[in-house]
Structure 1
Amino acid sequence: MIEPFNAGLYPLGYVAELTKQTPMKNGYSANGLTSDVLRKEELEGADLIINMTGRPSQEIFRGQEKVEDWLLQDPFGADPETYQRVFEGIQRRVNQLAFSLRDRRPGQKAPG
């Protein structure tokens, strides 16, 4: 089971309106979306960290072996079409991740 948790290195402190609207337009709830800072406890407790900062994980998450870098555009401040395109890209990557995790045998390392 994938149990997502979202946090940022430099969160805005609020959730942009299009960040709420885009999942809702795609049949998902926006309830519970927050703009939180990533804390050490969450970092250490995660089975897998998805890095969407655009910076290499080695620069940010030194010593962490459970990090995947996903290169995605930050849609903040862009038009609804950009938000939708980024949403679809994330959705595609999550589906690929779920498929690869299902196919892994216990003890294997996450793809990356």
Structure 2
Amino acid sequence: MTALPTVLFVCVHNAGRSQMAAGYLRALGGDAVRVLSAGSAPADRINPVAVAAMAEEGIDITAEVPSILTTESVAESDVVITMGCGDACPIFPGKRYEDWVLDDPAGGDLELVRRVRDEIRERVTALIAELGAGRSLG
């Protein structure tokens, strides 16, 4: 892993789960980690319910734009976290891959999105500890 680890979050639409995970890692990881997110079939905008759920946590993801998964983004990442995108993610030797099985918040109400958000926060917090990066989570 490089001195400044790069983490890529991937889901199908890059509009919910991967954007929430990236938002948490940016907020909690600070300058100790580089964060990327992408989708195998990106939506045209971020899920507004995911935006609302993250705003409750004080994290603003309104400026984020869903982007397409590229081979280059995987190649430059140290850790690749997939969330329901199947085998769309290219595999490179020497990378750490994890698949986070999470409900898809697309079309879900705020309660569902909150549950997914909270599970993502727990996983991101654990990832930060494993990477030895981040700010105080107190």
- How big is the shift at 1:75? 0.5
Query: 1:54 & 1:39 partners in 2: Cα distance?
Result: 13
Q: Distance in 2 between matches of 1:5 and 1:84?
A: 22
Number of residue-to-residue matches in the alignment = 100
Contact (CA 8 Å) 1:20, 1:33: kept in 2 or not? Answer: no
Equivalent of 2:59 in 7, 24, 28: 28
Q: Which of 42, 47, 50 is residue 81 of structure 2 equivalent to?
A: 50
Residues 16-95 of structure 1 aligned to structure 2 (within 5 Å): 16-53=47-84, 55=86, 59-64=87-92, 65-95=95-125
Following superposition, the deviation at residue 51 of structure 1 comes to: 0.5
TM-score computed with the length of structure 1 as normaliser = 0.79
Structure 2 stretches of 5 or more lacking a match? Answer: 1-31, 134-138
- Larger strand share, 1 or 2: 2
* Greater RCO, 1 or 2 (C-alpha within 8 Å, sep 6+): 2
Identical positions, percent: 25
Unmatched runs of 5 consecutive residues or more in structure 1: 104-112
What TM-score does the superposition give when structure 2 sets the normalisation length?
0.65
